[in-house]
Amino acid sequence: MITVQNLYHSYNKDDNYAVKDVSFEIPKGEVFGFLGPSGAGKSTTQGILTGLLQLQKGNVTVAGYDVKEIKRKMFNQIGMSFEQSNVYSKMTAKENLKFYAKLFDVPTRDPDELLEIVGLEGKGKIRAGEFSKGMKHRLTFARSMLNNPELWFLDEPTTGLDPAIASVIKGIVKEQNEKGVTVFLTTHNMYIADELCDRVAFIIDGDIHLIDSPKNLKLEYGESKVEVEYGDNGKLKTETFSTLDEKDKKKLADIIAKQNIQTMHTKEATLEEIFIKVTGRELI
Amino acid sequence: MKLWSSFVKELTIASRGFYFYVEIAMAAILLFVLLFVIPNNFDNKETQYLYLEFPNAQSQQMYIESFNDLDGKGKTPEDPFKIDKEEINSTLYVTEDKEIYVFDTEEDMAKVAEKKHKLGVSIKMNEANELNYTYYTQGNETEKFSNILKIIHGPDDALLYKELEGQPVKTISTDYVVLSDRENVLPVFLTFNGSLMGLFIMAAYVFLDKKEGVIKAYAITPSPVWKYLLSKVLILTVTALTTSLILILPIMGTRINYLLLIVFLIPTGFFASALGLLIASYFDDMVKSFGVMYLLMIAMMMPTLSYFIASWDPMWLKFIPSYYIVYGFKEIFTKGDTGFILLIALGYLVVSSILFAWANARYKKTLSV
């Protein structure tokens, strides 16, 4: 769905690249996470893929279209949810969706249905300017689904949302992905990436350091251990066991069978820990 | 369809916004000024301050009657002159084109002329019944004017009047419509309201969209950016037409060719909005663009000076686009050369199209992420 080869971009058109020699491919139906701290080159890459920034150097195809010469009809297949909510504040939520729906050449979804999906049912007649930040964000997210996109760009889709709404948004992303929608997710939130992405790319200072699935990364960088907290003769004990060592495995089975288990956690690494390990940088 | 949707959207936003009503209010204020502040024709009666010293009352009265006073009798002015709280006596004679104040003493006349910055004249008749004139000028008169005063009462003044009467003067255009002073101001107001306000309001609209980030959202749709820009131009054109008609209809009534006016208003409005689009493409917000905007608006107002001061019409002024807007409006109101008006309209259409294409290229390149 997306092919990027040797992509470079410089805002000042000099050797100070915001993105340098970036290459990756995203097959149809994948949720691809583009992870990195602020200023890493995530938005620049996404800007080039969506045609907001002109391609300077490299080869990029999006939904079968060469980004060098963008055809407007490409946008019938693309949806984009921006990090910063960008809706017409003087228009109602429904007017916003109805207006954008008319700009597409493909059948579009019912604005009322979309508002309901993102939890804005009954708010269609309220001007977007009167919405809270989170509501505007949800409206921006709903707008990105108007044209039933095959390729969906999501820039920090859950930022600023309360956990319940964030969970709804994650559910929608999963549901759309199950229908075959390809998702390009830009975020610095590793938990969301871990939960949603089939593969993730770590980008720092315009360079991609690594591309792999969260599962593989955890196996490679995590520790194969389990931490158990259990009661032993009225005393609370904590022990760590290897899931690979036969002796540890036997001892763990024995504790599970005989003791009163309080908590038990695998000691796999989080994506954030792996990111720090691989890039030497924190996600700020 | 996409252009129409964008236009309807712009209309909705404009009707719920501030700037649309600013334009309407500005047109209403200008109309108020035209109707109630600017007279249909300015009072251009000449004021003269005289001191008369004649050998006898009879000859002085004869001279006064030569003023062609409406009733032949002078009156005490309603608002007498005061110098240092001292009231100065004078007699006022009103004719069709003059207000003549005759003072009791030459000293009084000179004092008032100095205070009021007017020309004073002392006229004395000698025993040989010859008139002697002494002019009290302010010192800032041109040499030409002073020279005229020196020769106008010379021994050959009869010859001078004879030459004046004998000099043939031919008027080239016989069907030229003479505008009243109020109508004459209208082209300047229209240039300011329709064109220059259009430039400012367009920039304001774009900066509002930039602030809300909606241009980026539009760019991720199959609708090309030029349709977004053109919908803004259309809304500004509608506003320019509306506000211009608010000004023109009550003043000009049905005396002008409205079809020609609309043909002229559309490209000139297009020009202002395309220029506004282009300027807004180089800045992030109104504050940053204010310097350029201000300079441009000052430059665009320069031709209106030439409009009022006909003798000041340097060549460089003709390169300022608003020059032809002001004179184009005047041509329409005076039922002037239709070909000239259409040529100006065509010129603006071409220039505006170039500016629009330039602005479109700028917006396509500068949709930052």
- Between CA B40 and CA B253 the distance in angstroms is 14
pLDDT at A280 over 80: no
Say if residue A123 is in the same domain as residue A238: no
User: Do both B60 and B33 map to the same domain?
Assistant: no
Is residue A237 located within the same domain as residue A155? Answer: no
Tell me whether residue A88 is in a domain. yes
Q: Please indicate, yes or no, if residue A279 is contained in any of the structural domains.
A: no
Residue B112 lies in a domain: yes
Q: Where does a domain end: A194, A218, A242?
A: A218
A85-139 tens-digit pLDDT: 899 999 999 999 999 999 999 999 999 999 999 999 999 999 999 999 889 999 9
User: Over the stretch B305-364, which tens digit does the pLDDT of each residue have?
Assistant: 888 887 778 888 888 888 999 989 998 998 888 898 999 999 999 999 999 999 998 887
Are B227 and B326 in the same domain? yes
Q: What is the 3-state secondary structure (H, E, C) of chain B?
A: CHHHHHHHHHHHHHHHCCHHHHHHHHHHHHHHHHHHHCCCCCCCCEEEEEEEECCCHHHHHHHHHCCCCCCCCCECCCCCEEECCEEECEEEEECCCEEEEEECCHHHHHHHHHHHCCCEEEEEECCCCCEEEEEECCCCCCHHHHHHHHHHCCCCHHHHHHHHHHCCCCCCCCCCCCCCHHHHHHHHHHHHHHHHHHHHHHHHHHHHHHHHCHHHHHHCCCCCHHHHHHHHHHHHHHHHHHHHHHHHHHHHCCCCCHHHHHHHHHHHHHHHHHHHHHHHHCCCCHHHHHHHHHHHHHHHHHHHHHHHCCCCCCHHHHHCCHHHHHHHHHHHHCCCCHHHHHHHHHHHHHHHHHHHHHHHHHHHHCCCC
How confident is the model over B285-295, as pLDDT tens digits? Answer: 888 888 898 88
pLDDT at B157: 67
Q: What's the burial of B151, exposed, middle or buried (CB within 10 Å: 0-12/13-18/19+)?
A: exposed
User: 3-state class of A59 per DSSP?
Assistant: strand
Report the pLDDT averaged over residues A203-218.
Answer: 88
Pair A159, A20 in one domain: yes
Q: Which residue of A has its CA nearest to B367?
A: A52
B165 assigned to some structural domain: no
User: Would residue B167 count as lying in a domain?
Assistant: no
- ipTM here: 0.84
| Residue A282 belongs to some domain of the structure | no
> Which domain-ending residue is among B100, B128, B158?
B158
Residues A97 and A122 in one domain: yes
**Pair (B245, B334) in one structural domain:** yes
- Which of chain B's residues have a Cβ under 8 Å away from the Cβ of A95? 9, 12
Compare B73 and A34 and report the one with higher pLDDT: A34
**Residue A47 is assigned to a structural domain of this protein:** yes
Q: What is the pLDDT of residue A45?
A: 93
Does A51 touch chain B if contact means CB atoms closer than 8 Å? Answer: yes
Is there a single domain that holds both residue A8 and residue A69? yes
Average pLDDT over chain A reads 89
**What is the tally of structural domains in chain B?**
2
Arithmetic mean of pLDDT, A56-70: 90
Tell me, yes or no, whether A87 and A187 share the same domain: yes
A39 close contact with B: CB closer than 8 A: no
What pLDDT was estimated at residue A58?
Answer: 92
B195 and B313 part of one domain: yes
Count of beta carbons in the 10 Å neighbourhood of residue B71: 8
Are B187 and B280 members of one domain? yes
In terms of pLDDT, which residue wins out, A165 or A146?
A: A146
Q: Are residues B146 and B250 in the same domain?
A: no
Q: Which residue of B218, B221, B369 is in closest CB contact with A53?
A: B369
Does B305 fall in a domain? yes
Residues A238 and A109 reside in one and the same domain = no
A259 — pLDDT class (breaks 50, 70, 90): confident
Angstrom distance (rounded) from CA B279 to CA B283: 7
Whether B108 and B235 map to the same domain: the answer is no
The confidence score (pLDDT) of residue B174 equals: 62
Instruction: Answer yes or no: do A255 and A152 share one domain.
Output: no
Q: pLDDT for B246-257, tens place per residue?
A: 999 998 888 889
Structural domain including A68 reads 2-218
Min distance A50 CA to chain B CA atoms (Å): 7
Average pLDDT value for residue range B84-104: 86
Q: Are B267 and B349 in contact (CB under 8 A)?
A: yes
| Alpha helix ranges (H) inside chain A | 42-49, 93-101, 111-117, 133-143, 163-178, 190-196, 214-221, 246-258, 271-279
B233 and B276 both lie in a single domain: yes
Please enumerate in sequence order all residues whose Cβ is within 8 A of that of B155, keeping only pairs 6 or more positions apart, or say none.
none
Between B214, B224, B365, which is nearest A88 by CB?
B214
Final residue before a domain boundary, out of B128, B158, B188:
B158
| Alpha-carbon span B67 to A224, nearest angstrom | 119
A59: domain CATH number is 3.40.50.300
Cα separation, B240 vs B190, in Å, equals: 9
Cβ contacts of A6 within 8 Å, gap of 6 or more: A21, A22, A23, A57, A58, A59
- Given B158, B189, B209, the domain boundary residue is B158
* pLDDT for position B369: 44
Same-domain pairing of A136 and A178? yes
The answer to whether residue A260 sits within a structural domain is yes
Q: Are B32 and B54 part of one and the same domain?
A: no
User: For the residues of A113-139, what is the DSSP string, one character each?
Assistant: HHHHHTT-TT-TTSBGGGS-HHHHHHH
pTM: 0.75
- Confidence tier at B368 by pLDDT (50, 70, 90): low
Q: Domain span at residue B16?
A: 2-39+180-365
User: Is residue B34 located within the same domain as residue B53?
Assistant: no
**Whether residue A32 is found in the same domain as residue A54:** yes
Rg (CA), chain B: 29
Residue A252 lies in a domain: yes
Residue A185 and residue A72 share a domain: yes
Tokens in use for A139?
């409206």
Region A232-248 average pLDDT? 85
Distance from CA of A73 to the nearest CA of B (A): 5
Look over chain B and give the mean of its residue pLDDT values, rounded to a whole number: 85
Residue A283, domain member (yes or no): no
Q: Residue A284: is its pLDDT beyond 70?
A: no
Residue B175 confidence (pLDDT) above 70: no
- Domain total in chain A: 2
- Does residue A173 fall inside a structural domain? yes
At residue B69 the predicted structure's pLDDT band, cuts being 50, 70 and 90, is low
Mean pLDDT of A168-180: 93
Same-domain check for residues A101 and A200: yes
Closest-CA residue of B relative to A140 is B217
